[in-house]
Every structure is written in C-alpha cells, then in structure tokens.
Chain A
Amino acid sequence: MKKPLLIGAILLYATAFAASLAIRASTPEGQTASDVSRLMSARVHEVIPVRSTSDIVKALEKARRNNLKIAISGARHSQGGQTFYPDAIVLDMKKYNRILNIDRANRTIRVQSGATWDDVQEAINPYGLAIRVMQSSNIFTIGGSISANAHGRDPREGPLIDTIDSFRLMRADGNVIQVSRTENAEWFPLVIGGYGLFGVVLDADIRLTADEMLEERTLKMGVERFPEYFAENVRDNPAVGLTIARLSTAPASFLKEMYVTNYVKATAPLPDNPPKLKEERAVELTKFLFGLSRKCDWGKNVSWTLQKRIFASENGTILSRNNAMRPEIEFLEYRDVQRTDLLQEYFILVNRFVPFIEGLGKIVRGSGLNLVNITVRYVPANTDATLSYAKEDSFALVLLFNHRRDSRGISQLERATQDMVDLALQQRGSYYLTYQLFPTPEQLNAAYPGAESFFQLKKKLDPDLLFMNEFYARYAP
C-alpha cells in the first residue's frame, strides 16, 4: 500500500476514535441506576462514589446549581427505586464506611453510614460485643438500614430505631446537624424509616450488646399451632436470643408445616477470646436447594425434605451471637436476565397470623405466583418512627417470589400484591415500604397513618425537594 494512503488511514482512524470518545464523554447521562431486584431502573445524571463528607457537600452544591435531584444509595437492596430517580445525582455511600469509635464500657459504636453490618461485626467481635438489632443478614449498610428502620430476629428487640442514640445528618442546605431524641428531635422519627428523603445520614451512634454463646434448636410444627407456641415459649422467654421460622412452600405441605429455629442462650459463657467470625460456608448446597425450589414444585418438595435433614444436623450447634447473626446470603444471588427474585414483607398481628396465612394461600394459588419461601420474624409494637410498620406486636412475614421481569409478569405481580396488602389491612396489619411500589397510595395511607404528616414535613424541611426517589414520586400527594 502507498505511504500517503496509509498515513491517511491512520489519521482518519485517530479522528474517528477521538470523536467516539468525545461523544461518549459528553453523555454522562448514560448511566443507569437500578437495585438488586433489577425490576426498575432509571437513567440518572451520574453516580458519585462518596468517600468523604466534602464529596457530599460538592454533590449537593452541584445539584442545586444545575437544578438536579439527589438520591442516596447504600447496598441497593431496597426494591422499589428508593435509591434512584431519573436524571438525579446518586450518592453511592458504600465507600463512606469507616468505623469512627467503639466505646466498650458503654457498648456503643460510631460508624459512617456506608459501612455494612459485616464491617461493624468485624470491628466489635474482638471486644466481645454484638449488634442488638439488624436484618437477618449482614450485607446492608447502616444508612440503608436506618432509612428503612430495619428489624431483626431478636424477639426482645424492637426495630432499629430503638438502638440508635443519635446521628449526624447533612440537610438539603448543606448544614450538618446532630439528631437525637433530645437534639433536633423533630428530625429523629423522620430520618429513621424515612428512605433518604430528609438528608444524608453521615454517621450514627448505635447501641450494642454483649456477645454470648447460643445453641441452635429447630423444631417442626403445624402452622396453626405457631402463635400459641410462640407466646408460651419464645416471646417471654429470656433464654431465646434469636428466633426465625420458615413456612413450607412445597405443594405437599403448602403453608401447613413450618420449622421454628430458636437460638437459645447456651450454658457455656463466651470465651475470653471470642470465636472468630465465620465466613460463608456450604453456600453451594443452599444455593442448589434454592435453585431447585425456584424451578418447580418437585424441587420445592425435595428442598423442604432436605432442609429437615440440614436442620437436624445443625440442631445443638453452639455458636456466638455474632456468628448466628451472619447467615449465608449468597444463595440469593440470582442473575437470570428474564426472571428476578422479589421480596415482600407483611406485618400481621400475632393473633391474626393463621387467618392471614389462609388468605395468603388462596391469593398465591389463584394468581399462579411462584412463592419460593416464607420466613417469619417477630417485631414488638413500636411507633417511634413516623412511618412505623408494627403498630402492635406483630409477626413479620417475608415472602420471596421468583418471577418474570416482563411487563405481563409485572402486572400479574402488581395485582396479586395489592390483594395481599388488602388482606394484611383487613387483618389490621401493614406491609414493608422497602420493596416494590405496587401498593396504591390509598393502601399506603391505610397501612401508615403517619404518611400524611411525613410527606407534609418533607415539603417543609426540604422545600426544594432536593432529596428525591421513586418512592416519593409514587406516593407523595
């Protein structure tokens, strides 16, 4: 080939390359944000990885200057767009995760909001301290947990709000305030359980408890016996450290049988050198069982029978509270492009449990939803947060569905969800706001009497609506 031709080709290519890069660079709006369920997503302006407080300050300034909204994301396990909004700047808090202080004597920890419970456990385990309230698994961030007002498996603990002493909040105007039950107290019940709509939680002071040794005990029972069993043996039994129950979704025993696992205080004290934190184990097996139950009825039957063996083999296991509070979660990692695992949670008064389960069975069978598993936790009444979900002592039923992500699948799920919410409301219960946005605004108001004042105060305290997400957009009047 002739030289000039060659040079021409190279120049042309270089120009095209530069042009492509330039066009690419000038469209930062190309970023999409989604959550772990991948059900919804939005083109956002940009995702800013936050490492320092000044990153947040700069992001808020930029948003105000360019008239953009701010959404905040932690581990992104909420499932209804609580962490994003179209064309918003998303603050990704995961790297804002330092442990700032551990007070052994008073059993408290100060931690930045992007840290996960896992980070906290790593930090406090050597001191013989343990977390009082957290979700069943430790993958969530402190900020995300505070904003959902999460609850856990310790039957003697209420929701997370009970264990939060105070926190620092960066408001829409860029000012940082200290918030507690006595200081700037108006913000306390709004931010906790407030889904990131009142500002950015920077760090929080959280109450801890002593780590202790627990013994795992699982028993099987009929669903109708559970409320009575629970009242007699668990609720007022100080020996039970943690409790969780699972309902059968296998066709042979659908919503009829359940396993109840209690972690009972062991006689042995915590050794001076607290047990090391365990890492994920036996994940492949649980993952496989899970895969089976997702796929078909037969798989659900096999999985339910196999679980019996697993529980039997684990009966009597002695482990620390810290280790009991880090169960495997990887089985939930699910990458099928066409389907997704979706969670929902209903809070049902203890004495309405059985009628709710009966109604639920009808809805699930009638709608053809693929209900993979149901777990049950207990949450005592607590109305401290403006959006409180358990107004009376309740069972929290967590439902996992595996469902198609296409539009037909979604509208099927939407209808069934509204039916389930209605059922919960009929039983004077409510549902968890951290999942999909299927319930109607009327249903939200019925389940959350505080919703009206929540949205009013949002408009008062953040008049420009700087902090924004899909949850607000769907439900604010």
Chain B
Amino acid sequence: MTPINVMSPSMKWMILSQSAMTFGAGVVFPFYLIFIKEIGGDFTEFGIAYGLFTLFSAFLNRLFGASSDRYGRKVFLVIGAWGTAFLFLLFPIATSIWQVYAFQIVLGAFGAMQKTCEKALIADMTEGGRRGELIGRYHFGVSLFSGAAVMAGGVLVDFFTLDLIFYIGSVVLFVGGLMLVRVKEGAV
C-alpha cells in the first residue's frame, strides 16, 4: 500500500481534470441568468431552463450510474466533459429561448454522467482506511477551482462579453476531458 500522503498519479489527474471541469462549468453557470435575459427571457424562463436541466439529470443519474458499472466510469466522464464543451460552443450562436431549452436538456444528460460517475470513480479509487482523507483533499482542490471560476467569470462578464465565458468554459472543459485520459480506472 502506498504511504498515506502520497497520492497515486491517477488520483492527481482525477483531481486536476475534475477541477478543470468545475472551473469550466463554474465560469458560466452563475451568469447564465444574464445570458437568458439577453436572449429575451425572464425569471420564469430561467426557472424553466434550470428546472429542465435538473429534471433530466435526475432521471438519467440512475441510468448512467448502472451503465458505468458495466462500461466503465471514465468513458462517461469523458463524454460528459466533451459533450458539455461542444454544447457551450452553441450558446454564443443561439438566437431563441427554445434553443436554450434544448441545450439545457442535453446539458442535463451530460451533467448526470459527470456527477454520478465522478462519485463512483472516486469511490473506486479510494479504499476504506484513508478514503475520507483522500476525498477531503479531492474536494478541497475541486472547490478551490469552483470558487476561482465564479470570480473569474464575474470579471470576464464585466469587462468582456458574455460569449467569452462560454468559449473559455468550453476550452477548459475540453482540456479537463483530455486529462481524464491519464486516469487509470481502478488504480489506487
């Protein structure tokens, strides 16, 4: 067994990749409301869009959870990251609220892949005795990035255009997906 304070390379890549993914998503999501406003929506429409996202991921969590037991978690994590990265590229060219609804549904699916498989993979990669400590460190890294993302997003929106956060978010998500390639499933 590896000493307690040495993390496996896989775990490090996992932290890096998931941090990138929280960053990529975090840079966009708090400012999503402004985007909906600009495209002509209001609070109701924001509620609908957000609700659609949550509902779809709710149902799909079960499906993807079970599938990941069969096909491996990594695949789903990569699809989730890259899928979201591609979708973010569509937001700047969206012209109506209906397109945004459609994107939200698909985003909900990718979100479900990410959420369920992230947890499952982390569980696979840690074991009983030091699981808590490792998960603590994992969340520490990931949360740092999500905080940084929200701040960065605010500054970007203030000084540049709203579209920019989608592009930046997209690139970061794509790179986050690339990093997953270095993660070995089941490696402790």
Output the nearest chain B residue to A23 by Cβ-Cβ distance: B93
Output the nearest chain A residue to B86 by Cβ-Cβ distance: A16
B127 within 8 A of A: no
Asked if B181 and A13 sit within 8 Å, CB to CB, the answer is no
From A19, A20, A21, A337, give the contact of B37 (CB < 8 A).
Answer: A337
Tell me which residues across on chain A come within 8 A of B92, comparing CB atoms: 20, 24
In the complex, what distance in Å separates the CA atom of A16 from the CA atom of B87?
10
Tell me which residues across on chain B come within 8 A of A20, comparing CB atoms: 89-90, 92-93, 167
| A15 nearest CB across to chain B (Å) | 10
Asked if A1 and B181 sit within 8 Å, CB to CB, the answer is yes
For the A-B complex, the count of residue pairs with Cβ-Cβ distances under 8 Å equals 34
Asked if B93 and A337 sit within 8 Å, CB to CB, the answer is no
Asked if A17 and B89 sit within 8 Å, CB to CB, the answer is yes
In the complex, what distance in Å separates the CA atom of A9 from the CA atom of B175?
11
In the complex, what distance in Å separates the CA atom of A304 from the CA atom of B174?
57
Q: How many residues of B contact A (CB 8 A)?
A: 19
A6 within 8 A of B: yes
From B43, B89, B163, B181, give the contact of A337 (CB < 8 A).
Answer: B43
A66 within 8 A of B: no
Tell me which residues across on chain B come within 8 A of A1, comparing CB atoms: 78, 181
Asked if B93 and A27 sit within 8 Å, CB to CB, the answer is yes
Q: How many residues of A contact B (CB 8 A)?
A: 16
Tell me which residues across on chain B come within 8 A of A6, comparing CB atoms: 178, 181
Interface string of A12-41 (1 = CB under 8 A from B): 010011011101100100001000000000
Summarize B's interface: helix, strand, loop or mixed: helix
Asked if A337 and B82 sit within 8 Å, CB to CB, the answer is no
Looking at B38, B89, B163, B174, the one whose CB has the most chain A CB atoms below 10 A away is: B89
Output the nearest chain B residue to A17 by Cβ-Cβ distance: B89
In the complex, what distance in Å separates the CA atom of A337 from the CA atom of B92?
21
| A394 nearest CB across to chain B (Å) | 39
Tell me which residues across on chain B come within 8 A of A9, comparing CB atoms: 82
Tell me which residues across on chain A come within 8 A of B78, comparing CB atoms: 1
Asked if A17 and B42 sit within 8 Å, CB to CB, the answer is no
In the complex, what distance in Å separates the CA atom of A338 from the CA atom of B85?
32
Asked if B42 and A13 sit within 8 Å, CB to CB, the answer is no
Tell me which residues across on chain A come within 8 A of B38, comparing CB atoms: 32
Tell me which residues across on chain A come within 8 A of B171, comparing CB atoms: 17
Asked if B170 and A17 sit within 8 Å, CB to CB, the answer is yes
In the complex, what distance in Å separates the CA atom of A240 from the CA atom of B86?
66
In the complex, what distance in Å separates the CA atom of A1 from the CA atom of B37?
41
| B158 nearest CB across to chain A (Å) | 14
Tell me the B81-118 residues at the A interface (CB within 8 Å). Answer: 82, 85-86, 89-90, 92-93
Tell me which residues across on chain A come within 8 A of B93, comparing CB atoms: 20, 23-24, 27
Looking at A17, A32, A338, the one whose CB has the most chain B CB atoms below 10 A away is: A17
In the complex, what distance in Å separates the CA atom of A24 from the CA atom of B93?
6
Known A9-B82, A13-B174; contact A338-B42, beta-carbon cutoff 8 A: yes
Given contacts A20-B92, A21-B167, 8 further A-B contacts (CB under 8 A): A9-B82, A13-B86, A13-B174, A17-B89, A17-B170, A19-B89, A23-B93, A27-B93
A contact set with B: CB distance below 8 Å: 1, 6, 9-10, 13, 16-17, 19-21, 23-24, 27, 32, 337-338
26 A-B residue pairs with Cβ-Cβ distance under 8 Å, sorted by A, are A1-B78, A6-B181, A10-B178, A13-B82, A13-B85, A13-B86, A13-B174, A16-B86, A16-B89, A17-B167, A17-B170, A17-B171, A19-B89, A20-B89, A20-B92, A20-B93, A20-B167, A21-B167, A23-B93, A24-B92, A24-B93, A24-B163, A32-B38, A337-B42, A337-B43, A338-B43
